Amino acid sequence: MEAFFQFLQDNLPFLFTYKLAFLFLGAALEGFNVLILAGILISVGAVPVFPTIGVVLLGNILNGYMWYTVGYFAGAKPLDKWGRKDEKSRLIIEKVEKYFDRYSGRALIITRMTLSLTVATLIMAGSLKYNIKKFSLYNLLGAAGWVGTTLAVGYFFGESYKLLFGYIKSFTVLALITAATVIVIYMLRMAVKSSLLKSMTISERLQEIGDKIKSGFGDMFADKK
């Protein structure tokens, strides 16, 4: 592991000169991969624990406000543009809209664990001029959950790499393992997205059934009168 970070320090010295600034900007603009990297850096002692957690958390919170602002001033146009890409995107946007209408706070927190739904939900909150105080609370909770999860994953892999370096001396093999790790994480996040979309569909169907039952009871009592 020392050889890997020595390689980075020799070729990309700015990452180490401005470590926390880089992590803050990365968390605000990119997020996922930078948070994993932050967890790895913490595990090998390359960055201080609590300042790093604070910096990436602030960056991720800022990311939420950035997309909220896009929706606030641009309205639903970005979502409409995305929804026109294909039928699947349009259906996803429609499901997110219905889910947000029904469970706005929950949606802002849970969609943080997905790839594409996060941005769509944050833009939607802005376009609907969602209460900024409530948004701030849910944005904080969602960011804290996501940052905690990704840092823990990065830390785990950092510890694993330290063990692997005792047995694997080839940088190429380690690079392949790293790539495989990133792929697995992306697959897990896509699985969360798929599960969330399915839960949205189930909730929608249950709501429809509930409405029909209420309507049936209403008609029955109306007939008795």
Q: What is the mean pLDDT of the chain?
A: 74
Q: Return the domain boundaries, the chain.
A: 2-224
Cβ–Cβ < 8 Å for 100, 74: no
pLDDT band at 188 (very low <50, low <70, confident <90, very high): low
Instruction: Provide the angle, in degrees to the nearest 10, between the axes of the packed helices 132-164 and 32-43.
Output: 50
pLDDT at 141 (0 to 100): 94
**What is the pTM assigned to this prediction?**
0.69
**AA identity, residue 4:** F
Cβ–Cβ < 8 Å for 158, 42: yes
Residues 6+ apart with CB under 8 A from 174: 4, 161, 164, 165, 168
pLDDT band at 178 (very low <50, low <70, confident <90, very high): low
Residues 6+ apart with CB under 8 A from 159: 43
For the segment 70-81, the average pLDDT, to the nearest whole number, is 81
pLDDT digits (tens, 9 = 90+) for 32-56: 888 988 988 888 788 889 989 999 9
pLDDT exceeds cutoff 70 at 142: yes
Torsion sign over Cα 88, 91, 95, 100? positive
Q: How far apart are CA 39 and CA 60, in angstroms?
A: 14
Higher pLDDT, 55 or 186: 55
For the segment 125-150, the average pLDDT, to the nearest whole number, is 92
Give pairs for 4-13: CB < 8 Å, separation 24+. Answer: 4/161, 4/165, 4/171, 4/174, 5/44, 5/46, 7/171
